[in-house]
């Protein structure tokens, strides 16, 4: 017997990716329901490359009773309306919005990093998916933290326009086309021209001069990995369609050489080390698109601080940064708690993570 699974927001970038990944990973689902707003009702979504078509239903009229879990990709406002309803009906919500991430009664999960924290989900029957930039960063940081204890992280992000949804991708495409033909490159979604430009501004500004995106990376890293770690972030939107990149500077309590860090990362769950120290011997967003791994390159020692390292981290933000992590949480929930399907145990799950 398998699970009855809901994907809410299935017509958006992340929702469609969730559906695809459920199919790719052969998630043990007996039934899949895809939900969206009323304007998408009746649309057809293919279940991965299976040829099986799913018909979009109206989330407003959907009864979640009897469904096991729901993957939400509908934004904070809609989540505030529907997540409590689904959770109260016994359908565990795995939420991709920022609404519940810092709720102390809601686990914030990256399975390779803090799988055991999922045990607290029963308090609200809701599990939070972290911010896309946070997710890939903590996957890279976790094994290094275990080895030498991280004191401080300075991160600069280079975030693709897909993080702003289809409207962001459309704006980059339209502006680029307009510039080539001599037409105005009007900014609509973003605060300034994004084509052939970078914008050091993601989400709203806070009183201290940081942005909400930067704040998310700080507080989410502390909740997921270790509250003692000091984090400072500068988040930048760049003219890339898919794939977030990060330049990380890490200070440790204990000595950790670049060679040892490379060895640790090579064996770490969810990480793919590509660090050849030659032309092209590193990963860029173009290569990460469509892949599940968090790629790490350019690992080197920082001589300006005691026990410092610098590295480059790249991942497909629609996958590990959102949809893949949500599906991995669903897999973890099934293996560790619901146990309806014929699934492997926790040790086998960790082996799967290591192999990815």
Tokens of 68: 């096991």
Residue ranges of domains in the chain: 3-129+322-353, 133-160+198-315
**Quick one: average pLDDT of 63-74?**
98
The verdict on whether residue 163 carries a ligand-binding annotation is yes
Residue 151 near residue 251, CB atoms below 8 Å: yes
With a cut of 90, say whether residue 100 has pLDDT above it.
Answer: yes
With a cut of 90, say whether residue 354 has pLDDT above it.
Answer: no
How does pLDDT run across 122-165, given as a tens digit for each residue?
999 999 999 999 999 999 999 999 999 999 999 999 999 999 99
The CATH homologous superfamily for domain 3-129+322-353 is: NAD(P)-binding Rossmann-like Domain (3.40.50.720)
H-helix or E-strand containing 24?
helix 13-24
The CATH homologous superfamily for domain 133-160+198-315 is: Dihydrodipicolinate Reductase; domain 2 (3.30.360.10)
In the Cβ-directed half-sphere of 112, how many Cα atoms lie within 13 Å? Answer: 31
Concatenated DSSP letters of 181-213: HT-----SSSSS--TT--BS--S-B-TTS-BHH
Total-model pTM? 0.93
User: What is the spatial distance between Cα 80 and Cα 93, in angstroms, rounded to a whole number?
Assistant: 12
Tokens of 169: 């991708």
Beta strand 53-58 pairing with 29-36: parallel
In the Cβ-directed half-sphere of 250, how many Cα atoms lie within 13 Å? Answer: 32
pLDDT over 70 percentage in the chain: 96
The verdict on whether residue 350 carries a ligand-binding annotation is no
pLDDT band at 340 (very low <50, low <70, confident <90, very high): confident
How does pLDDT run across 26-44, given as a tens digit for each residue?
999 999 999 999 999 999 9
Whole-number mean pLDDT of the chain?
95
User: What is the spatial distance between Cα 301 and Cα 168, in angstroms, rounded to a whole number?
Assistant: 36
The verdict on whether residue 191 carries a ligand-binding annotation is no
Task: Phi first, then psi: give them for residue 24, nearest 5 degrees.
Answer: -55, -45
Residues designated as active site: 132, 244
């Amino acid at each position: 017997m398998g699970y009855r699974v809901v994907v809410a927001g299935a017509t958006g970038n992340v929702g469609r990716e969730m559906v695809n990944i459920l199919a790719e990973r052969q998630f043990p689902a007996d039934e899949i329901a895809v939900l969206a707003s009323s304007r998408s009702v009746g649309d057809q979504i293919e279940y991965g490359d299976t040829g099986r078509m799913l018909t979009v239903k109206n989330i407003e009229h959907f009864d979640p009773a009897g469904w096991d879990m729901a993957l939400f990709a509908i934004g904070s406002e809609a989540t505030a309306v529907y997540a409590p309803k689904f959770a109260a009906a016994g359908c565990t919500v795995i939420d991709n919005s920022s609404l519940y991430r810092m709720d102390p009664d809601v686990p914030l999960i990256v399975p390779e990093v803090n799988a055991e924290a999922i045990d607290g989900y029963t308090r609200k029957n809701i599990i939070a998916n972290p911010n896309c930039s946070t997710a890939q960063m903590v996957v890279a940081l976790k094994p290094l933290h275990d080895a030498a204890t991280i004191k401080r992280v300075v991160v600069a992000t280079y975030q693709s326009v897909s993080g702003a949804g289809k409207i962001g991708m459309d704006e980059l495409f339209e502006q680029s086309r307009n510039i080539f033909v001599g037409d105005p490159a009007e900014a609509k979604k973003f605060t300034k021209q994004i084509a052939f430009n970078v914008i050091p501004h993601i989400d709203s500004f806070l009183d201290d001069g940081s942005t909400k995106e930067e704040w998310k990376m700080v507080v989410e890293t502390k909740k997921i990995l270790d509250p003692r770690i000091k984090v400072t972030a500068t988040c930048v939107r760049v003219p890339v369609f898919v794939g977030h990149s990060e330049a990380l500077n890490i200070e440790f309590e204990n000595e950790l050489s670049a060679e040892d860090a490379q060895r640790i990362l090579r064996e770490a769950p969810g990480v793919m080390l590509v660090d050849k120290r030659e032309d092209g011997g590193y990963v860029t967003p173009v290569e990460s698109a469509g892949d599940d791994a968090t790629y790490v390159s350019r690992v080197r020692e920082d001589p300006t601080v005691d026990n410092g390292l610098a590295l480059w981290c790249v991942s497909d933000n629609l996958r590990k940064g959102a949809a893949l992590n949500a599906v991995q949480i669903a897999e973890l929930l099934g293996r560790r708690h619901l146990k309806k399907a014929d699934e492997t145990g926790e040790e086998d799950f960790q082996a799967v993570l290591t192999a990815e």
